[in-house]
Every structure is written in C-alpha cells, then in structure tokens.
Amino acid sequence: MLILVRHGESTGNAAGLLLGRMDAPLTERGLTQARTLGPSVAGASRIISSPLSRARDTAEALGTGLPVEIDDRWVEVDYGELDGRPLGAVPSEVWARWRKDPDFRPPGGETLSETGVRVRAACEELFATEGEGARGPGPVVVVSHVSPIKAAACWALGLGDEGAWRLYLATASLTRVTWGADGPVLSRFNETPWSAPA
C-alpha cells in the first residue's frame, strides 16, 4: 500500500498564502496534526518525503523511527512569481486559466502537467518495486503537498491532470493507494484522523 500524507499546517497555510517552493515551517497546530497521524502509518516499511522542511518535519513527527528518504519528485508545484502571495491576491483570470489548461505556466513557474509527469514517474516506480507481488512488510509512506498528492490520485484513477481541480485535500490528511492486480486502486482519499471526534 502507498500512503500519501499531506504535511501538517504550515505558517504559509495559516496565513492563506499560495505556497509552493517557499519553505514555510510547520505551526504548532501542524506539528500536533502530524504527530496525531503517527498511529495511522504504524508498520510502514519506508518513509519518503519532499525536500521542503514542512514535509520533512511532518515525516519525522510521524514517529516511525525510519530514516526519511528525500525524493525531489514529491516537491510542491513551482508557482514562480505567484509563490507566497495571498490566495485572494491571485487574479481571477489566472485561476480561470489554470483550471482550463493544465499546461498553463505562471511566470517563472511549473505547469500542472509537468508536476503530473514527475509524480506519475515516482508512482510508477513505487508500483513496480512495491506492488505486483513485490510487497514489502508494510506500507510505503510518502509525505508531500497538495498538488503532488492530487496528481497521484489522478494517476491511480486513470484521470488527466485537470482532475486535480475537482479534489479537495486538507493539511495533514491521508490518501491510500493499494496495489490492485491490474494497477493502482485509490482506496481512501483525504482522511483526517486528527479532526475526528473522540
């Protein structure tokens, strides 16, 4: 099984910023969220993380004791000149173009299609090594960001990158992809155990 973990709340998330490659640390709430996810990934055989600190710190806070492997393919989309801007300050015509065209590139940034290519390659590699009869002793956990996890969900569902706009993903959420006989199966999406009532 592949368990995709979105990092806990960061200072940029709390401030309502469009957060790509800007390295914003976890808030106290985000750190608590990450620690709460620990039991949900117990028994993991590997932990892979985006290189950004909010993902790495979430991976460490899961408390598995496993070494955190860094894979740059799981880094957040590059928003270029828009990175770090308040969400409400991004012009409506930019949002409209993004939603209509996965090849739209913000100035100095990356397209959703390019994000999809690198994430799909990472997923295919994990499927080849961890799935199809090569299952390890436990799930593989990847700690990443909203756009790469949505891209991975689209990969599992056989959708194009434009499908990401129809998905909502909370901070510190879990998404599970199982290894089916004929390919990946999205078994759960956007689980948030930290918000469940006691």
Per annotation, catalytic residue among 9, 60, 76, 191: 76
145 given a catalytic annotation: no
Dist. CA 10–CA 31, nearest whole Å: 9
76 given a catalytic annotation: yes
Exposed e or buried b per residue across 52-74, where buried means at least 16 C-beta atoms within 10 angstroms of its C-beta = bebbbbbbbbbebebebeebebb
Per annotation, catalytic residue among 7, 9, 60, 191: 7
Active-site residue set: 7, 76
